[in-house]
Copies of this chain bind each other. A is one copy, B any other.
Amino acid sequence: MTDPISRTKTRAAPRKAVQPPAPPPRPALTTASALYLREDEIRRGIELLYFGYSSMIREVDAILEQEGFGRAHHRALYFIARSPGLAVGDLLRLLAITKQSLGRVLGELQDRGLVQQSIGTQDRRQRLLSLTPAGAALEASLFAELEARMASAYGEAGQAAVTGFWSVLIGLIAKADRPMVDSLGQS
């Protein structure tokens, strides 16, 4: 029993502590230094995106928990608020989840009287989603939190920074998906 790696043992077997690893082999400052600089810039972007998103959503999570909802409910509320009359299929494409997953969330929102459906006018198979007054009120309170954070960040950074912020994010989105995102504004 020299190297207890397996996790299948019934009673816990502590994982071995090894020798401290050799320090990472930092290259001499030659032609490679530009590449290292670039890697750091990339990593910084990844990290800021991760922590920025987490921070923005944190307070919203707290409100949602009080209401007995989760982020999934919020995303549905958000996009329905953004594009009233959205069809179920369009919402599915935006969220990129399965019909079954969305079905549960949407069902709960309808049963709580926050979301309602109407029958499509051109295509009667469609179900067009909209918020009830209660749904609009909840969405507004959630949006207010996001807005406060975002407006403060915009203000700190300035208008030019906001433009840059947008354009980098657009660049991250696959070209095929960009029309979908762009069309959210004007409905």
**Residues 87-146 of A contacting B (Cβ, < 8 Å):** 96, 107-108, 110-111, 113, 116-119, 121, 127-128, 130, 143, 146
The number of times this chain is found in the oligomer is 2
Q: Is the CB of B18 within 8 A of A117?
A: yes
Q: Is the CB of A172 within 8 A of B39?
A: no
> CB < 8 Å: which of B117, B165, B181 contacts A164?
B165
Q: Is the CB of A118 within 8 A of B174?
A: no
Closest 6 CB pairs of A and B: A164-B164, A153-B171, A161-B164, A52-B169, A48-B169, A165-B168
Q: Is the CB of A45 within 8 A of B154?
A: yes
A171 with B146, Cβ < 8 A, contacts A5-B113, A116-B18, A166-B44 known: no
Binary contact readout A46-83 vs B (1 if CB under 8 angstroms, 0 otherwise): 11111111111010000000000000000100100010
Q: Is the CB of B156 within 8 A of A167?
A: yes
Rounded to whole angstroms, the CA-CA distance of A169 and B169 in the bound complex is 11
Q: Is the CB of A49 within 8 A of B45?
A: no
From A54, A107, A166, A177, name the one whose CB has the most chain B CB atoms within 10 angstroms: A166
Q: Is A27 an interface residue (CB 8 A)?
A: no
A40 with B7, Cβ < 8 A, contacts A55-B177, A163-B164, A170-B48 known: no
A51 with B21, Cβ < 8 A, contacts A15-B117, A164-B161, A164-B162 known: no
B residues less than 8 Å from A173 (CB atoms): 48, 51-52, 55
